[in-house]
Structure 1
């Protein structure tokens, strides 16, 4: 049977670069290769021209987060023939998706990418932030309960939704990694990358780091003191950017760590960055999957991840990396040292698990969800 026509609604898409964008692009490309159609509705941006099957709504800047645009509700006529509506947000564009699903009597699938309560810290602090978080969680629960199915990228995320009262069908569908793209580059490419960014060769000492959005909720300020406390004395590298960048730089200065900040890298350079790192360090306790951790693993790089949230499952302790307890700097440093000492074996295990985390595997599961809600 030809895959169904899907209308995907999202609050974040190109030109914004993040995990949701990558996931949606990867799913869409694989869906089209299977003969289906997956249109995307997203907030318009002045510096991006939509391509085929991409439709924008009016948008305004989001005052609490530079670079993010808040989409205004809208349903383009071109997506009104959808068989399935897939909302990747519960906010304005998600409400548009809900409206469309009811209007054309099509099932609504909702993806749970990021806890909405996280954004309370961008708006306020203290009791006000707590009140906003409570209200956000209540709204999120009501929205997800209006869906025919909720897609989550990990079992911990599914358990979280059940614990906060989500009664809709919940299916675990990993975001998936493009394992054709995320693979270890050849030695010549890695040497050129290190020279371009003045990073040490492997025989000059270990390199650890992080790339992705610098959000306060990811607690990246825990990395510098852990690196400073590690006996292995690694070089620390940060890729990406975001609102917490200044705080991370200050944490490096306070810890006496001379970190390298590379900023946002072209996507084609990400495999080289991952493969250059001897360990990817990830203290974020709020991940629903932690896609960057899986991308690092696909390039043969073990992950030192916090034992909280989805990273409890995403990082397989002793196989693809090591865990450490949340906010335990000494244990974080020890896990870094263990990962570096065990780097070769961990790297082999990471590469052996690539097929289990592929986009193709994820889209197989996604198609099964669409089939189930359409029966």
Structure 2
């Protein structure tokens, strides 16, 4: 199949959407399909060339910085007009949109020009995110706008992919009636067969017997990392040598670093920024005695699956998409979002080498349920069904539509 993927975000911007797109594209290409990804150009010095791939085509479009979210980019409107004829002239079996901004607009227009079916993945729980980026606007108004916009966008495509049943239920409550398939992204397990925690500890002078927690996340308010810092503050009373590794970058980093200092955790918390996903990030995961996570807004929670695959015991809340990932997991301890309760679960794990070994051994087995191998087969079946339901238009009619 010839598959076009459109997104307003991609690497070097590190988040779950970028990871999901790359996982989809690589997996589909390895299955023999032709994949083209269209994404923003982040400009010189961004390091985006490190994320190019010879497995699928990547087209970068000129973009500008978004004033309230400088990590992200908005594809420039003239670029859309420039690229549209070339994309419309190519043969696509399906158009897969991953984000709701310029990429969505591009996908809907290409569907009109080519007659091809559109799929959109609802990656982000915007109702819970938007208030953190527009704090000056009334919260009820923002929620109303997020719900209304979600309905409009979802009704503009032929089919939705939703990463979890919890998110599908949210969309039903919004009044979305577009056909939807619950289908998580999953991970390529072969990428998580490596990693050396001892190497990471030696490189960063963390003693082998020092109790160590790890989290991997974009540093944003909605990820609830401040709660994890409160948990660490509670734990140092019993574990004064505790080390908390935080891997990731984001707009909340300055506040989180101030909090760590205010909590007296300068010797117990280290911020490592974005680490290389193929090397040092895997080492960082494996350096942990426990992986901790408490985000309430995930549509899936890929980092939990990654921790499972690497055999790192997990302590996490289970809300939205993380509830789906952790539902039958034997590698995790589930906690309420309460500092005492969460700290109690972590302390229990740190006290017991036997419990850590038990959860660690179960992790890779839990992760197998989220392997891309089976999940991508379902994606291809969905693509094929949609393509069959909407046959290619006659060449003459297609050309006329493009000229119009």
Give the TM-score normalised by structure 1: 0.91
Give the gaps of 5 or more residues in structure 2. 389-404
- 1:304 alignment counterpart: 315
- 1:238 alignment counterpart: 246
Give CA-to-partner distance per residue, 1:267-302, whole Å, 9 cap, x none: 222211111111111110000001111111110012
| Aligned equivalents of 1:126, 1:62: Cα separation in 2 | 17
- 1:96 alignment counterpart: 106
- 1:370 alignment counterpart: 383
Q: Tell me the CA shift for residue 368 of structure 1.
A: 1.9
Partner of residue 169 from structure 1, selected from 155, 172, 179: 179
Does residue 1:289 correspond to 2:300, yes or no?
A: yes
Give CA-to-partner distance per residue, 1:237-273, whole Å, 9 cap, x none: 1111111112212222233223011111122222111
Distance 1:133 1:334, change over 3 A: same
- 2:36 alignment counterpart: 39
SS in 2 for 1:223: helix
SS in 2 for 1:332: helix
Cα RMSD for the two superposed structures: 2.0
Partner of residue 62 from structure 1, selected from 62, 66, 74: 66
1:1-375 residue pairs with structure 2 within 5 A?
4-47=1-44, 48=48, 53-73=57-77, 74=80, 75-80=83-88, 81-125=91-135, 128-185=138-195, 189-201=196-208, 204-230=209-235, 231-232=238-239, 234-257=242-265, 258-267=268-277, 268-316=279-327, 319-326=330-337, 328-340=338-350, 341=352, 342-375=355-388
Distance 1:78 1:276, change over 3 A: farther
CA contact (8 A) 2:289 2:313 kept: yes
CA contact (8 A) 1:176 1:361 kept: no
Give CA-to-partner distance per residue, 1:139-188, whole Å, 9 cap, x none: 11211122211111122122222222221111121111121111253xxx
Give the gaps of 5 or more residues in structure 1. none
Give the TM-score normalised by structure 2: 0.85
| Aligned equivalents of 2:148, 2:207: Cα separation in 1 | 48
| Aligned equivalents of 1:318, 1:168: Cα separation in 2 | 31
CA contact (8 A) 1:123 1:129 kept: no
Q: Tell me the CA shift for residue 78 of structure 1.
A: 4.5
Asked which structure has the greater CA Rg, the reply is 2
| Aligned equivalents of 2:308, 2:86: Cα separation in 1 | 39
Provide the aligned length of Structure 1 versus Structure 2: 366
Q: Tell me the CA shift for residue 6 of structure 1.
A: 1.0
